[in-house]
Structure 1
């Protein structure tokens, strides 16, 4: 019980730091939106449920519970964290010198590669293919270091993936919407094919019944989160084109 309480401490600190930073930024800038804070809190709670909650022990013996953890840690929480705009909040709290240094890093070539939708998709969905089609899934339950590394990878890959497609924080290397839409569809297809593969070919140590239940949760649960991602991308796409369309309409009216 004592060890479990210790695991909650980092997440409590993350909540406190974000809330403190939002209040601090209000002194110099426009009031930080409450919904951003709610997104952050929800994202941290999703991570906590997987890393320090009752789901942890269940996931070791139940593939369906593991897959629920995958959805929370690798899909839901990254999307929620991206929607909370953490980098924008960081920039609002830094002094001018540090803000410029951080901006320079964000504009660098390595960040351009990491933030590209194609790379983010390969890093995210490709990692899942390796996890579930090799002995890695079985091995991670017998090695605490590997178990921790894979969970960190799943979250970071999910965060990079969500951030690559929807522009909430400042994005120096923003790609066009058509490219993002094409890559998004391909990544969704790959994720869906993987869930069907797991249904027919259970990972090592997973029973057929659990593999079927887990893969269906991965397929339909993933679709629910994907719909949210599609909606946000399409809304941003529409919003980016709306001023242009209005400008053309106004010009046509003046000419007539």
Structure 2
């Protein structure tokens, strides 16, 4: 573990507000697009409407991303590993959970023309989508990538190049959304396993997150160019902040879980049970 500060490629740019204008505009555009789709969905089907909770989750997710990508957190993350870890948790765990709970795919399906809706449904049922959206793959992409990031020279290399740093943010966000979607997303997911299996994958993620943070704290084979106190502080943020995020994900899994009556009916049929509505026909 090196004892030098991180490359401060963003320090001299923090004085200019224009540096932070592009990410702010992107976040505002995303929030505006979601609100427009909500308005369209309510106009198409006033009786069905759209949940204010889901709208609130999406707006909350964009706010969390704004906190992570704009001052004061973003400049701090360039020069302090603790700031980087706060940024990582916001982009990779907290914001993705909020965005996924906003059910953006369901909103698209309610607002797209029928032909495009069928195309999106076909994509969701395609083999590549089913593989990528499986919790095991999402787990490797989100939590597993942390091993490559902090235990190889990748983190230091990405920190020294602004474009690579933004790619790292994109990876955190997309992999975090994928894992939250695979475990507890309210959107349709044809390849999503049962609740017990998803709880197992979430448990593995919690354990892996804890082990990685403890290894970083101990300085075991880590490649992080930062003072020891920053590295240990960042590891503590990762440990405790990750626990809170994963508990929220577990709560979302329980809250979004719904019984599957079709499977229950099939099991009942195999046992010789016939639902009452099927035998109450004619007198």
TM-score by length of 1: 0.91
Indicate the structure (1 or 2) with the bigger Cα radius of gyration: 2
Instruction: Map residues 196-211 of structure 1 onto 2, 5 A cutoff.
Output: 196-201=214-219, 203-211=223-231
Q: Distance in 1 between matches of 2:233 and 2:86?
A: 11
State the partner residue of 1:224: 244
115, 119, 126: which one aligns with 1:97? 115
State the partner residue of 1:170: 188
Listed as ranges, the gaps of 5+ residues in structure 1 are: none
User: Which segment drifts farther, 91-100 or 228-237?
Assistant: 228-237
Deviations 1:184-219 (A, max 9, x none): 111110111000011011532121111111111111
52, 62, 74: which one aligns with 2:70? 52
- Between 1 and 2, higher relative CO (CA 8 Å, sep ≥ 6) is seen in 2
Q: Distance in 1 between matches of 2:228 and 2:240?
A: 18
Q: Distance in 2 between matches of 1:189 and 1:7?
A: 33
Q: Distance in 2 between matches of 1:42 and 1:27?
A: 24
Instruction: Map residues 19-98 of structure 1 onto 2, 5 A cutoff.
Output: 19-29=35-45, 30-98=48-116
User: Secondary structure of 2:188's partner?
Assistant: coil
Q: Distance in 1 between matches of 2:190 and 2:260?
A: 19
Verify the 8 A CA contact 2:224 2:231 in the aligned structure 1: no
User: Which segment drifts farther, 139-148 or 154-163?
Assistant: 139-148
Greater fraction of residues in helix: 1
Q: Distance in 2 between matches of 1:235 and 1:100?
A: 28
State the partner residue of 2:3: none
Runs of 4+ aligned structure 1 residues displaced above 4 Å come to 241-245
Shift of 1:242: 9.1
Matched, 1:116 2:113: no
Shift of 1:236: 4.0
Instruction: Count matched residues.
Output: 248
Matched, 1:141 2:159: yes
* Cα RMSD, aligned residues only: 2.1
Change (3 A) 1:185 1:139: same
Listed as ranges, the gaps of 5+ residues in structure 2 are: 1-16, 277-283
User: Secondary structure of 1:219's partner?
Assistant: helix
Shift of 1:231: 1.6
